């Protein structure tokens, strides 16, 4: 049965989608079966993995509204991971879900027995705490919080942590925060080092090490429709994602043992 991870942040531009794609591909490199789910109406993950949202007839929107089964929406990518893509139509799904009972469980129910076909399901959340993020948290086993190593990136993290704890209390008691992942880190600057030190002190949850080094290569990769692991394999930040993927696999093996 797949381990399901939600990658969530209230702030845009912190490397959330990059983290989903990079961790997913790093896990696939380790021989893991990986499904990524794009829950952001901007469809950045979909575009980043070489799928044009405008060419899609069905997406996660149809899954959440009950018009399609999730297994019929899954597409393969060149990077070795499967994807449930998104389109701009997803922006309308909140209104559709508000009339449903148990709407927080819609994604969890949709994933259903599809989880048995994968080792990992990674959910790319939108940068809000709306119904899509709540659905992701309700479907997940754990949460990774990417946090840009800049002062303003702290804003909203506390509220996200409280939301995770509320979901764990109300709809998903198995949910845990596996850690904060520092992103866009430039260890040459005293500011980045100070922010990283503050993260360790401020939040009573693990800080995942190593941090992800800042590089323009992460921003350039989506234009090629591939992850940075495919376009810049030996980049320091890419190697950091591989370290995290190896840790995740090792920890899971340890739990099974």
Q: Per residue in 172-192, pLDDT tens?
A: 999 999 999 999 888 788 887
- CB-based burial label for 223 (10 Å; 0-12, 13-18, 19+): exposed
Q: Which of 109, 161, 100 is nearest to 131 (CA)?
A: 100
Averaged over 25-34, what is the pLDDT? 98
pLDDT at 240 over 60: yes
Q: What pLDDT is attached to residue 77?
A: 97
- 155 and 37 in contact (C-beta within 8 Å)? no
Q: Is 124 or 191 the better-scoring residue by pLDDT?
A: 124
Q: Is 13 or 128 the better-scoring residue by pLDDT?
A: 128
**Distance of alpha carbon 48 from alpha carbon 32, whole angstroms:** 20
Residue 257 lies in a domain: no
Average pLDDT in the chain: 92
Q: What pLDDT is attached to residue 257?
A: 53
Q: What pLDDT is attached to residue 141?
A: 98
Range list of β-strands (E), 74-175: 75-76, 82-84, 120-124, 142-148
Any bridge partners for residue 84, and if so which?
37
Residue 92 lies in a domain: yes
Q: Which of 33, 4, 31, 9 is nearest to 19 (CA)?
A: 9
Q: Is 11 left (phi over 0), alpha (psi -120 to 50) or beta?
A: beta
Averaged over 35-49, what is the pLDDT? 96
What CATH number is associated with residue 226?
3.40.50.300
Averaged over 225-237, what is the pLDDT? 92
Residue 123 lies in a domain: yes
**Distance of alpha carbon 208 from alpha carbon 103, whole angstroms:** 32
Residue 179 lies in a domain: yes
Provide the residue range defining the domain that includes 62.
3-252
Continuous H helices in 9-156: 16-29, 44-48, 60-64, 93-97, 106-111, 131-139
> Any idea which of 39-53, 86-100, 172-186, 225-239 has the lowest mean pLDDT?
86-100
pLDDT bucket at 256, cuts 50 / 70 / 90:
low
pTM: 0.94
Residue 195 lies in a domain: yes
Specify the number of domains making up the chain: 1
Q: What pLDDT is attached to residue 166?
A: 95
């Amino acid at each position: 049965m797949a381990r399901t991870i939600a990658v969530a942040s209230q702030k845009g531009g912190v490397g959330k989608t990059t983290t989903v794609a990079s961790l997913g591909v790093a896990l696939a490199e380790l021989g893991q079966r990986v499904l990524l789910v794009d829950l952001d109406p901007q469809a950045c993950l979909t575009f980043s993995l070489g799928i044009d949202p405008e060419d899609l007839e069905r997406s996660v929107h149809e899954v959440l509204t009950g018009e399609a089964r999730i297994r019929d929406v899954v597409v393969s990518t060149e990077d070795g991971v499967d994807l449930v893509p998104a389109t701009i139509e997803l922006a309308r799904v909140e209104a559709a879900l508000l009339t449903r009972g148990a709407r927080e469980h819609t994604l969890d129910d949709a994933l259903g027995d599809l989880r048995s076909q994968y080792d990992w399901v990674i959910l790319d959340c939108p940068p809000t705490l709306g119904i899509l993020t709540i659905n992701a948290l309700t479907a997940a086993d754990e949460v990774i919080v990417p946090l840009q190593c800049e002062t303003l990136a702290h804003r909203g993290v506390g509220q996200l942590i409280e939301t995770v704890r509320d979901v764990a209390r109300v709809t998903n008691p198995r949910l845990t925060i596996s850690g904060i992942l520092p992103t866009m880190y430039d260890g040459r600057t005293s500011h980045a080092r100070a922010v990283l030190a503050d993260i360790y002190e401020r939040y009573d949850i693990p800080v995942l090490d190593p941090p992800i080094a800042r590089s323009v290569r992460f921003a350039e990769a989506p234009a090629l429709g591939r992850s940075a692991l495919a376009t810049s394999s030996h980049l320091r930040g890419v190697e950091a994602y591989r370290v995290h993927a190896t840790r995740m696999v090792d920890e899971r093996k340890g739990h099974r043992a």
